[in-house]
Structure 1
């Protein structure tokens, strides 16, 4: 049956679609969590809109089954996916999801938008996202929304996991040539990719997606932790790029990077305890002295649920 405004227990769905995985959260109208599921990547830089819609539909069905509501169509579904900041892509995904009748009402947002909903609600702050790709968003005290980065894997995504993976390959190839010193990254990369020689990297890279390049980011962090100079240089470069995103928005929206600025992180590269996050938090002490870093993890799917409940007419 179809859940709607008259249903005593309407359901809402929040979807966080990234370049590595898609997370789906199913809740009732009060926000109580009924099911959480994860599946394949649905970022629009990675897959076509129709493929993303199929992945999302399948995961919603899985969540409904887990909640013992397999025949119920949710009242509202808010989908936040990487790449949906481009209007054409967002409209195409919305049309594909509406055609598949995943919910009575569907809203498609950029992934950072739903993450900001969870991090700050309606308040001001800067959100830095660094997973497969990278982008920063800010809500100014006057309500303006500004963006920095987010130009995609072929133009930008500086400081992202895919960016870091590509640069690791550049370092090991230069080391092989003798243009750079030897580095432990060489053996670690070959082991991670299950390749026998660096020559095998060429056909691998030709077929690689941003998501597969991003799989090398943990390798860089692991080697950096052993003291390898080239791996550490890559981590430092990554941190500088990410700090620049935050500082740019701090100046644009708060006038001065020394002002009190709430800052939140999202994305696998910035998970709590990660090497990049630790060094970025340290770097921001000088780059953005006013940064007040949120300790709690940002859950973009939870932010999508917050937005879905608002669309349902619930005060949140």
Structure 2
């Protein structure tokens, strides 16, 4: 309903401005008076304590709610996937997200929340959109200079970006933002879906990286009990070859994992967290 409001270091006020305006427009459409009693916000980049505190203070200053809770978008999805009336035992489970980046959140049987990944493209985000987009660029480059096998990835990328040759792609990549590189990931997934070996290997490697996030959190769950896992993010839609590869990697590396097939309704998670606010 509004523009992006991802948190960046020292960026709480900028995010709060966007969120507050979105809240005001939503309240006007719903006929709800402000300030609201409770406001729960899930924002990318707000997964750590300092960013949460800064965003909560900034939102309070904008007067859209009397009490606020800021958290990451992944933790909101975790609450949606594993409410106490669903998901794993007592609402326990792991939520794996692959979009521009990659991260996994877990709620253990005692109700504690843990995370793995979500370090950003500079430090990690393996298996996410930026990682796959860069793999597509690398494959195109290696094929062009003779270090890698041929594929249609170069022609796919040129067509998608409106470029004419590899030299133009080099210039584009030098100026591209992480989000622009991540937007190339679907072209690699399409190539994998159509049977191209280079792309399929990248998808399988991405799946192993994503399953490693789940594996890092599995230690918080007693064995040999089944481990509930839900997925989300633009790269893990039901028909995605990456989701199929994640399912296969889980079966091989973490057989007690049970991958949910239902859709995660993130706004429901925000409502659940709001209801828990004291």
Fold match (TM-score > 0.5): yes
Residues 106-125 of structure 1 correspond to what in structure 2 (within 5 A)? 106-122=68-84, 123-125=91-93
Q: 2-side partners of 1:187 and 1:215: how far apart?
A: 16
CA 1:310/1:254 → structure 2, altered by over 3 Å: closer, same or farther? closer
Which of 254, 258, 266 in structure 1 is aligned with 2:221? 254
Q: 1-side partners of 2:50 and 2:9: how far apart?
A: 15
Alignment partner of 1:253: what SS?
Answer: coil
Corresponding position of 1:50: 13
Is 1:63 aligned with 2:26? yes
- Richer in strand (by share): 1
Q: 1-side partners of 2:182 and 2:64: how far apart?
A: 30
Runs of 4+ in structure 1 deviating by more than 3 angstroms, as ranges, are 45-48
CA 1:47/1:297 → structure 2, altered by over 3 Å: closer, same or farther? farther
Corresponding position of 1:308: 274
Which of 27, 51, 59 in structure 2 is aligned with 1:89? 51
Which consecutive unaligned segments of at least 5 residues does structure 1 have?
1-37
- TM-fit CA distance, 1:93: 1.9
CA 1:147/1:271 → structure 2, altered by over 3 Å: closer, same or farther? same
Is 1:217 aligned with 2:185? yes
The alignment's TM-score, normalised by the length of structure 2, stands at 0.89
Q: 2-side partners of 1:79 and 1:126: how far apart?
A: 20
Residues 228-239 of structure 1 correspond to what in structure 2 (within 5 A)? 228-239=196-207
Corresponding position of 1:183: 151
Is 1:208 aligned with 2:176? yes
Is contact 1:165–1:214 with CA below 8 Å preserved after alignment? yes
Number of residues paired by the alignment? 272
Is contact 2:34–2:64 with CA below 8 Å preserved after alignment? no
CA 1:101/1:198 → structure 2, altered by over 3 Å: closer, same or farther? farther
Which consecutive unaligned segments of at least 5 residues does structure 2 have?
85-90
Q: 1-side partners of 2:156 and 2:4: how far apart?
A: 25
Q: 2-side partners of 1:46 and 1:169: how far apart?
A: 29
Computed over aligned residues only, the root mean square deviation of the Cα atoms, in angstroms, reads 2.1
- Richer in helix (by share): 2
CA 1:211/1:287 → structure 2, altered by over 3 Å: closer, same or farther? same
Is contact 1:50–1:93 with CA below 8 Å preserved after alignment? yes
Corresponding position of 1:23: none
TM-superposition CA deviations, 1:20-65 (whole Å, max 9, x none):
xxxxxxxxxxxxxxxxxx3332222599333322221222223223
